[in-house]
Chains A and B, each alone.
Chain A
Amino acid sequence: MTGRKLLMSFPVTPTSHLLSEVRARGGYETLKKVLTSMTPEQVTKEVTAAGILGHGGAAFPVGRKWSVVHLNDGQPHYLCANADEGEPGTFKDRWILENAPHQLVESMLIAAYALQVRNAFVYIRGEFDLPYRRLQGAVDEAYAAGLLGEKILGTDFSLDLVVYRGAGSYVCGEASALITSIEGKKGYPRNRPPRLTVRGLYQRPTVINNVETLSNVEIIVRLGAEEFRKVGIAKSPGTQLVSISGHVEKPGVYEVEYGYPLAKFIYEDCGGVLGGKGLKCIIPGGISTKVLTAADIATVTYDHKAMEAVGSQVGSGGMVVIAEGTCMVRLLQVMLRFYHHESCGQCTPCREGMGWLHRTIDRIVAGKGRPEEIDTLVRISEANDGTTICGMGDAAGYATVGIIAKYRDEFEYYIANGRSKNGGRLEVDAIEREVAHA
């Protein structure tokens, strides 16, 4: 077990996502309580007191984001759920969209009430098919039951909810690119200030939260902040949906209570490394977070402060397990190809820098690298940091610097010998074939 559960609290069956079953489990009772007995300010106060941090990657305090919106400023406010799950290694929001879409819808209703929103959006990546159908199905059910639309549950509160489908763009998971995309344009990120909570979608105050973050809102209001805070630890209240993949025996989505021992999670709950191999390292929270070696994670707990203390982050909860014998040079090549492909091209350091990084690593993998090019990779990464409108260029740099800092010897070997120290392997099966051959 990975600690107490908040979101994965019911048995998943082929029909457990449908409104009838959700209502039998007590679904939309919290909404009724909110609309009939709480003020918007009371809801925000509860969410703030719960101390929940954003689950999309940046871990920004949700209450602080919400508090920027002034309720009686005489202009429309918008709410967007970020379901553009695209950070490689991350597939946790998919679990909510497929299995608990009403948890998101009810939570968005409560958040919309707190922020006095009339129109809300879920921005879902264009490739998601089943998650889209499940969510759109839930929205349609909610409209039919009078839980969305005009005068919800007979109160004065009205909300329209649109499921907006992306069309293939990693950068649209960045909040300002996301709203630019909802405006029907190419997804270029925007400069801040002004913050999106001041001027966001169509220049109006807009709150954008990750799907998992928003899905916790109903739970916070149902339990009350005090009860909610009893789960997790003081600085990281609640739980995190962790999607784990790569060289691991039992990949999948797990709900992990903050403060849970990380090594126990990987070795026991997830069955350890595929084929009983040794653990080389993990990418803890999406490929943009820095790698942690087996030694780094030996005693660490899974929460924001502890992960930062060992030099990485909880990030998006997208964990990738990497076995001994994997070639880190080739792995970085896969990552840099991705970042190069996804750079939107708006800012020069990222547009050019991603190309330089990609071409340099390609040259090294082709056996034509020069010794000074390891430092070139680091220098380009550092030059990107903080010089672009959004964080994508920074993220590619963190991944690069993180891998080189810990596995520099593999890069030196590759360049000196024109081949991988680890046979260029990315698969555990290939590691096994190699051993059998020897």
Chain B
Amino acid sequence: MSSMQHLLPEFEQLKKRYPAGFESSLTLPCLRRIQKERGYVADEDIDWLVEYLGVPRIQVEEVLSFYTQYRRAPIGRWHLQTCRNVSCSMRGAERLIDHLARRLGIQPGQTTPDGRFTLSHVECLGSCGTAPVVMVNDTYHENMSAEKVDALLEQLK
């Protein structure tokens, strides 16, 4: 019995818009939903999905390691993802990332000891016209500056 069993009706609903035989396609959406619920994907979730969707275990493991958005371990409450690709770098992303790292006392890839923030690098978020961009959990914060990011951090408790 999976602790994610309560998502089953949602998954069944989702299945209805796919043609028959497309169970494998539900791998990505189900993992996303589970991660939203738990914060990451646990071993028992993989066991459950393999059984529920009838897909090979290796397929689920590969998906989890291939796509950057899936997590196999918990992270901070607020996930700050800073773009540093071409347009963002040209509008101050590198200074912004340095500023964030100093303010939080962590390097990209790390989580603050109180579990409040995780800082990550991310590649182009498609927000180049409003660069630099910082993604906080699901939300884009555009046209960022050191001052704006400081004000934002105050709000993220």
Q: Note whether A and B form a binding pair.
A: yes
A180-188, A228-236, A365-373 - the one binding chain B? A180-188
**Contact of B126 with A184 in the complex, beta carbons under 8 Å:** no
**Contact of B17 with A162 in the complex, beta carbons under 8 Å:** yes
Cα-based distance from A128 to B21 in the complex (angstroms): 28
Cα-based distance from A165 to B29 in the complex (angstroms): 7
**Contact of A184 with B28 in the complex, beta carbons under 8 Å:** yes
Chain B residue nearest to A162 (CB atoms) is B17
Cα-based distance from A167 to B92 in the complex (angstroms): 26
Residues of A within 8 A of B90 (CB): 245-247, 320, 322, 326, 331, 426-428
Q: Mark A180-210, 1 if CB is under 8 A from B, else 0.
A: 0111111100000000000000100000000
Chain A residue nearest to B125 (CB atoms) is A127
Known: A85-B126, A252-B129. A129 touches B140 (CB 8 A): yes
Residues of A within 8 A of B122 (CB): 127
Q: Is A76 an interface residue (CB 8 A)?
A: yes
Q: Is B123 an interface residue (CB 8 A)?
A: yes
Q: Is A138 an interface residue (CB 8 A)?
A: no
Known: A245-B131, A429-B92. A89 touches B140 (CB 8 A): no
Cα-based distance from A323 to B33 in the complex (angstroms): 44
B5-13, B80-88, B97-105, B111-119 - the one binding chain A? B80-88
Residues of B within 8 A of A76 (CB): 19
Cα-based distance from A243 to B127 in the complex (angstroms): 10
| Chain B proximity of A336: nearest CB distance (Å) | 11
Residues of B within 8 A of A246 (CB): 86-87, 90-91, 128
Number of A-B contacts defined by CB within 8 Å: 153
Cα-based distance from A357 to B93 in the complex (angstroms): 23
**Contact of B126 with A94 in the complex, beta carbons under 8 Å:** yes
**Contact of B22 with A202 in the complex, beta carbons under 8 Å:** yes
Query: How many A residues face the partner with a CB closer than 8 A?
Result: 60
Cα-based distance from A334 to B135 in the complex (angstroms): 19
| Chain B proximity of A259: nearest CB distance (Å) | 24
Q: Is B138 an interface residue (CB 8 A)?
A: yes
Known: A89-B87, A246-B87. A202 touches B21 (CB 8 A): yes
Q: Is B124 an interface residue (CB 8 A)?
A: yes
**Contact of A119 with B86 in the complex, beta carbons under 8 Å:** no
Known: A88-B128, A169-B68, A253-B129. A183 touches B25 (CB 8 A): yes
| Chain A proximity of B61: nearest CB distance (Å) | 10
Q: Is A414 an interface residue (CB 8 A)?
A: no
Cα-based distance from A119 to B126 in the complex (angstroms): 27
Residues of B participating in the A interface, judged by any CB pair closer than 8 Å: 17-19, 21-22, 24-29, 31-32, 53, 55, 59, 62-63, 65-70, 84-87, 89-92, 94-95, 122-131, 135, 138-140
Known: A165-B32, A187-B66, A245-B128. A130 touches B140 (CB 8 A): yes
| Chain B proximity of A15: nearest CB distance (Å) | 21
B67 partner, pick from A90, A126, A244, A326, beta carbons under 8 A: A126
**Contact of A127 with B126 in the complex, beta carbons under 8 Å:** yes
Known: A89-B128, A126-B67, A338-B85. A427 touches B19 (CB 8 A): no
Residues of A within 8 A of B55 (CB): 184
Which 5 A/B pairs are nearest by Cβ-Cβ distance? Answer: A184-B27, A168-B68, A167-B67, A186-B66, A245-B128
Residues of B within 8 A of A129 (CB): 138-140
Cα-based distance from A88 to B55 in the complex (angstroms): 34
**Contact of B128 with A318 in the complex, beta carbons under 8 Å:** yes
Known: A89-B87, A126-B32, A184-B55. A169 touches B67 (CB 8 A): yes
Q: Is A237 an interface residue (CB 8 A)?
A: no
Between-chain CB contacts (< 8 Å), 15 pairs = A88-B85, A89-B86, A94-B126, A130-B140, A167-B31, A169-B66, A169-B68, A183-B24, A185-B62, A185-B63, A186-B67, A320-B87, A326-B90, A331-B89, A426-B89
